[in-house]
Amino acid sequence: MKKILTIVFVMCIALSTSAQKKKKGASNDCYLSEAATTFNLSDDKKSELDELLTEVNKERASIKKSIRSEEITKEEAKTKSRAINRKYSGDFAKLVGKSKKEVNTFIKEVRGKCNKKKNK
Protein backbone atom coordinates (compact mmCIF):
# COMPACT_ATOMS: atom_id res chain seq x y z
CA MET A 1 0.00 0.00 0.00
CA LYS A 2 2.85 2.39 0.84
CA LYS A 3 4.46 1.71 -2.53
CA ILE A 4 1.25 2.55 -4.36
CA LEU A 5 0.82 5.79 -2.43
CA THR A 6 4.43 6.73 -3.07
CA ILE A 7 4.08 6.09 -6.80
CA VAL A 8 0.86 8.12 -6.96
CA PHE A 9 2.48 10.96 -5.05
CA VAL A 10 5.52 11.03 -7.34
CA MET A 11 3.26 10.97 -10.42
CA CYS A 12 1.26 13.93 -9.10
CA ILE A 13 4.41 15.96 -8.53
CA ALA A 14 5.76 15.11 -11.98
CA LEU A 15 2.50 16.10 -13.66
CA SER A 16 2.21 19.36 -11.75
CA THR A 17 5.75 20.45 -12.64
CA SER A 18 5.31 19.61 -16.31
CA ALA A 19 2.01 21.51 -16.37
CA GLN A 20 3.70 24.57 -14.92
CA LYS A 21 6.38 24.47 -17.61
CA LYS A 22 3.76 24.27 -20.34
CA LYS A 23 1.99 27.35 -18.99
CA LYS A 24 5.11 29.49 -19.30
CA GLY A 25 5.70 28.39 -22.87
CA ALA A 26 2.07 28.98 -23.72
CA SER A 27 2.35 32.53 -22.41
CA ASN A 28 5.35 33.27 -24.65
CA ASP A 29 3.59 31.65 -27.60
CA CYS A 30 0.53 33.79 -26.97
CA TYR A 31 2.69 36.92 -26.73
CA LEU A 32 4.60 36.10 -29.91
CA SER A 33 1.49 35.34 -31.93
CA GLU A 34 -0.19 38.56 -30.77
CA ALA A 35 2.93 40.57 -31.66
CA ALA A 36 3.17 38.90 -35.07
CA THR A 37 -0.43 39.74 -35.95
CA THR A 38 -0.40 43.25 -34.47
CA PHE A 39 2.88 44.36 -36.07
CA ASN A 40 2.85 42.07 -39.16
CA LEU A 41 6.13 40.41 -38.19
CA SER A 42 7.98 38.15 -40.58
CA ASP A 43 9.32 34.83 -39.36
CA ASP A 44 12.80 36.36 -38.96
CA LYS A 45 11.49 39.22 -36.84
CA LYS A 46 9.37 36.81 -34.83
CA SER A 47 12.42 34.66 -34.05
CA GLU A 48 14.39 37.80 -33.08
CA LEU A 49 11.57 38.76 -30.71
CA ASP A 50 11.58 35.25 -29.26
CA GLU A 51 15.33 35.53 -28.59
CA LEU A 52 14.79 38.94 -27.02
CA LEU A 53 12.05 37.54 -24.78
CA THR A 54 14.24 34.62 -23.76
CA GLU A 55 17.08 36.97 -22.83
CA VAL A 56 14.78 39.24 -20.81
CA ASN A 57 13.23 36.28 -18.99
CA LYS A 58 16.69 35.01 -18.04
CA GLU A 59 17.63 38.43 -16.67
CA ARG A 60 14.39 38.62 -14.67
CA ALA A 61 14.96 35.13 -13.30
CA SER A 62 18.46 36.15 -12.27
CA ILE A 63 17.05 39.11 -10.34
CA LYS A 64 14.51 36.89 -8.59
CA LYS A 65 17.27 34.45 -7.67
CA SER A 66 19.37 37.30 -6.26
CA ILE A 67 16.45 38.45 -4.13
CA ARG A 68 15.87 34.95 -2.75
CA SER A 69 19.54 34.55 -1.89
CA GLU A 70 19.46 38.04 -0.34
CA GLU A 71 22.28 39.32 -2.56
CA ILE A 72 20.20 42.39 -3.41
CA THR A 73 17.33 44.23 -1.75
CA LYS A 74 13.85 44.57 -3.21
CA GLU A 75 14.50 48.21 -4.03
CA GLU A 76 17.64 47.29 -5.96
CA ALA A 77 15.65 44.61 -7.76
CA LYS A 78 12.98 47.17 -8.74
CA THR A 79 15.65 49.45 -10.16
CA LYS A 80 17.24 46.62 -12.13
CA SER A 81 13.84 45.41 -13.37
CA ARG A 82 12.90 48.88 -14.58
CA ALA A 83 16.19 49.11 -16.48
CA ILE A 84 15.56 45.72 -18.09
CA ASN A 85 12.00 46.70 -19.03
CA ARG A 86 13.14 50.01 -20.55
CA LYS A 87 15.82 48.27 -22.59
CA TYR A 88 13.36 45.60 -23.72
CA SER A 89 10.69 48.08 -24.82
CA GLY A 90 13.34 50.09 -26.71
CA ASP A 91 14.68 47.00 -28.46
CA PHE A 92 11.15 45.82 -29.23
CA ALA A 93 10.25 49.25 -30.66
CA LYS A 94 13.32 49.16 -32.94
CA LEU A 95 12.48 45.64 -34.05
CA VAL A 96 8.91 46.47 -35.09
CA GLY A 97 9.61 50.03 -36.23
CA LYS A 98 7.11 51.67 -33.87
CA SER A 99 7.39 54.18 -31.04
CA LYS A 100 8.06 53.10 -27.46
CA LYS A 101 4.64 54.44 -26.49
CA GLU A 102 2.88 52.15 -28.99
CA VAL A 103 4.96 49.19 -27.89
CA ASN A 104 4.30 49.83 -24.18
CA THR A 105 0.55 50.05 -24.87
CA PHE A 106 0.74 46.75 -26.74
CA ILE A 107 2.71 45.11 -23.90
CA LYS A 108 0.14 46.15 -21.28
CA GLU A 109 -2.80 44.93 -23.35
CA VAL A 110 -1.26 41.61 -24.30
CA ARG A 111 0.06 40.87 -20.81
CA GLY A 112 -3.49 40.81 -19.48
CA LYS A 113 -4.84 38.92 -22.47
CA CYS A 114 -2.17 36.20 -22.40
CA ASN A 115 -2.35 35.83 -18.61
CA LYS A 116 -6.08 35.17 -18.89
CA LYS A 117 -5.41 32.47 -21.51
CA LYS A 118 -2.65 30.97 -19.34
CA ASN A 119 -4.90 30.71 -16.29
CA LYS A 120 -7.63 28.84 -18.14
Residue 18 has pLDDT above 80, yes or no: no
Q: Phi, psi (5° rounding) for residue 71?
A: -80, -30
Q: Where are the domains of the chain?
A: 24-119
* pLDDT tens, position by position, 39-76: 999 999 999 999 999 999 999 999 999 999 989 999 99
Residue 88 has pLDDT above 90, yes or no: yes
Per-position DSSP letters for 56-102, written without gaps between them: HHHHHHHHHHHHHTTSS-HHHHHHHHHHHHHHHHHHHHHHHT--HHH
What confidence score (pLDDT) does residue 6 get? 64
Amino acid letter, 87: K
